[in-house]
Structure 1
């Protein structure tokens, strides 16, 4: 949960997996598939295991439709991008999803030992093959001032691009909310110069008393959260295009925001956009 000093902002949360990556709709081919994913509940919370199981189910769905093998190195990079939004890996993306069943599997071979618990999620996913290829020279470097926070710590987001571009920074919260952090009511110029580090909040904003401070959801010991950046070579201002309200763009639940995001980003060809994501955790005493 992130709170803005001086300006109130909904929390910056997540779950464990998803991203915002879209394609040219008119050239896309879509298919519905059903898959299941599992994850052991071993030294992690059931919520974290659920997100890992979802990630696995999504990757299998894309693999079935696109006929590709997702490499381990790709998943390491993309694990922070999976979630209840749109998950894109290689040449496929999930643009619709329904949770069919969730369950905790219990296996105990020896009554003297603790049982093994596994989280299983079954989904029905709509997968779209992505048209075109991304520009390998268009890269986004996203850095947070840390990856592990305590309640009340300040969050600072830094973005650097290999090309001149326009950025939109989205927050996927632990309570299933989507928030457009930037651009916003107070900072609307989202142009970034190649090689320059763009900071949110800016030094000017910080000097005026604005800060992003993290906090857990009440009752949670730990929350895992992500920041997602979408960069485009041509101007794209989601705050204005989506007619968002509030100091920051509160987009509603992930499911509510998904349709608007797809319609907005799908107009941008793959070679004109780049993405990055960063995950962090918030804990407390």
Structure 2
């Protein structure tokens, strides 16, 4: 009887951080997007809202707006959803309502508007946390052309080990994730101060030859940790990086920045 009681306790504890929420996502198609794609984007926004409600991590309207400026809105919002899921996972999802209507703009243009309501079971990922352990990131630009240089400014609130990965979501043959910093003997222990990267060489932007779109989005994923973590230099998929991230026992903080490369 004691064994059964212990198993029940473990079962309850393992799901104590799960929460069932109902949220609605809305997407207005102001571009050349099919109705079914409009509803898929509405569902992605609903999933983001579900994560935000449980984990507290919010994607700014500025980040969402960037997806409307690139060639491939649906992929962009899907990438934002995955990058935001490092603090939580959606283990179950049910679509409970869906409305697809049309709306006329002042210009006379007729657009599709899709509203999707979902019920989702969101599990907040429990890791050791320190509210005073944080950092801010700023890029010198968010729209680049081939040959431009990327500069990163970072402010840290405490001493930390910092690692930066570059995420190439369009890459389907080679690796999607590459470590950008530290490399080549660089030290990634950052003391309380403002850090400017790169220190010596250049981070030169280039438009990939295998992409036939007019613009693409790439991401920088920043991980600050109290202990040095032995990350790999590259990962086949972003999911592989997430698996190692979740295994970390150190206090960690993650953020991402999106930028667009115009052909």
TM-score range, shorter chain: 0.5 to 0.7
Aligned residue among 243, 252, 260 for 1:281: 260
User: What is the TM-score with the length of structure 2 in the denominator?
Assistant: 0.64
Say yes or no: does 1:87 pair with 2:75: no
Higher RCO, Cα 8 Å, sep 6+: 1
Give distance in 2, aligned partners of 1:99 and 1:179.
31
Equivalent residue runs for 1:132-171 within 5 Å = 134-171=129-166
Provide Cα deviations, 1:24-71, integer angstroms capped at 9, x if missing partner. Answer: x968644788976332122x675997896455222333367x4x8x69
Local SS of the residue matching 1:61: helix
Aligned residue among 42, 48, 52 for 1:59: 48
CA contact (8 A) 2:39 2:100 kept: no
Q: Which has the higher helix share?
A: 2
RMSD, matched Cα: 4.5
Provide Cα deviations, 1:46-104, integer angstroms capped at 9, x if missing partner. Answer: 5997896455222333367x4x8x69xx4327947962535259xx612669999xx99
CA contact (8 A) 2:47 2:81 kept: no
Q: In structure 1, what is the equivalent of residue 29 of structure 2? A: 41
Deviation at 1:218, TM superposition (A): 2.7
Shift in CA distance, 198/235, structure 1 to aligned 2, threshold 3 Å? farther
Deviation at 1:197, TM superposition (A): 0.5
Shift in CA distance, 161/36, structure 1 to aligned 2, threshold 3 Å? same
Deviation at 1:120, TM superposition (A): 7.0
CA contact (8 A) 1:221 1:283 kept: yes
Local SS of the residue matching 1:258: helix
Give distance in 1, aligned partners of 2:122 and 2:28.
26
Shift in CA distance, 168/63, structure 1 to aligned 2, threshold 3 Å? closer
- Structure 2 gaps of 5+ residues are 1-12, 65-76
Structure ID, larger Rg = 2
Give distance in 2, aligned partners of 1:125 and 1:214.
39
Local SS of the residue matching 1:136: coil
Deviation at 1:126, TM superposition (A): 6.2
Shift in CA distance, 53/114, structure 1 to aligned 2, threshold 3 Å? same
- Matched positions, count: 229
Give distance in 1, aligned partners of 2:257 and 2:108.
38
